[in-house]
Amino acid sequence: MQQLTILKLGGSAITDKARECTPDIPTIQSVADQLRGYDLPLILIHGGGSYAHPFVAESGLGKGLRNRSQLRFISETEFYLGQLTRIICASLLLRGKLPVPFHPMSFVTFDNGKVKRIMLDPIRKALQSRLAPLLHGDLVFDESQGIGVLSGDRIASLVGLRLGASRVLLGSDVDGVYSRNPKTFPGATLIAEVTPGNFRSVLRASRGPSGDATGGMGEKVRQALQLAKNGCECYIFNLKEKNALRKILEGNRITGTRFVPWTSSRRSLRQSRRKA
């Protein structure tokens, strides 16, 4: 397959995280506009943002399924995530793009928080047909804990490694990884490049407290490192920055954090595909 790109639309960029189930329509439309002329294989993944985090946090589903009162939250989370998927699909369809939704709950299972089974054949087929698979962070059934949370960032690295993506782009509401959370520390500095030499300090910088059910910037950095260590280029960039997505898709430099591939060896990619 020609160069495969995975693009994650962060929940903080495409929803208003302060208000339950509120989409950021201008950002979604701007993303769809910038994708209009892009014709190479592409998998889209959207985060849950305010369509999922409030329900997961309130129900405690992040720690597994412990009582029947949590079941309603599973249904509701799936319902609202489906609504966000449809909003994104509508924006893309209106601009001539051809998304097809895939819900990870239907093709991934966990055991003790680790992937037990994953079925990617339909996604491969969709790509071969030149459709754009649209996935999202999701709840997934877990053999020992009942239910688990599969973050959008984790599914981006999982699918990226299994399908041999050449790059994974993680779009968020900040320019990249900073020395500290830029929203609470305005003097924080942007880290332009992550390499084997500085990755430990970048991990520490991103580990700050997060109100998110899926681990915030720390999870993003962990998944980006997993990709880079296995030879896949990864960027964290600002999806709300005008034209940043178009530029990065065209291979142009933008402001952001680039995770330099540690090795481009195909062998390493094959090994990680088996492990992921």
The residue number with the shortest CB distance to ligand ADP is 10
**How many residues bind ligand ADP, per CB under 6 A?**
21
Q: Which stretch binds ligand ADP (CB under 6 A): 71-79, 181-189, 243-251, 258-266?
A: 181-189
Q: Least distance in Å: CB of 39 to ligand ADP? A: 26
Q: How far apart are CA 258 and CA 252, in angstroms?
A: 12
Q: Which of 23, 47, 54, 133 binds ligand ADP (CB under 6 A)?
A: 47
Q: Which stretch binds ligand ADP (CB under 6 A): 6-14, 69-77, 82-90, 102-110?
A: 6-14
Report which of 46, 216, 153 is spatially closest to residue 205, judged by C-alpha positions. Answer: 216
Q: Which stretch binds ligand ADP (CB under 6 A): 8-16, 30-38, 75-83, 227-235?
A: 8-16
Residue 178 or 199 with smaller CB distance to ligand ADP: 178
Q: Least distance in Å: CB of 205 to ligand ADP? A: 5
Q: How far is CA 103 from CA 89, 107, 117, 132, in A?
A: 13, 7, 14, 14
* Residue 12 binds ligand ADP, judged by CB under 6 A: yes
Q: Which of 103, 182, 229, 247 binds ligand ADP (CB under 6 A)?
A: 182
Both tokens of 225, joined, read 């490192």
12 within 8 A of 51, measured Cβ to Cβ: no
- Spatial neighbors of 135 by CB under 8 A, at least 6 apart, are 43, 44, 45, 46, 101, 102, 103, 104, 123, 152, 155, 159
Scan residues 141-180 and list those touching ligand ADP (CB under 6 A): 172-174, 177-178, 180
Q: Which of 107, 141, 208, 273 binds ligand ADP (CB under 6 A)?
A: 208
Q: Which of 19, 124, 130, 183 binds ligand ADP (CB under 6 A)?
A: 183
Residues β-bridged to residue 257: 236
* Residue 256 binds ligand ADP, judged by CB under 6 A: no
Which contiguous run of DSSP H or E holds residue 232?
Answer: none
Q: Least distance in Å: CB of 184 to ligand ADP? A: 7
> SS3 of 29, please?
helix
18 within 8 A of 212, measured Cβ to Cβ: no
Q: What residue spans of 118-168 are helical by DSSP H?
A: 121-128, 152-163
Q: How far apart are CA 250 and CA 45, in angstroms?
A: 19
Q: Which of 118, 205, 213, 228 binds ligand ADP (CB under 6 A)?
A: 205
Interaction site with ligand ADP (CB under 6 A):
10-13, 47, 49, 172-174, 177-178, 180-183, 205-206, 208, 212, 216-217
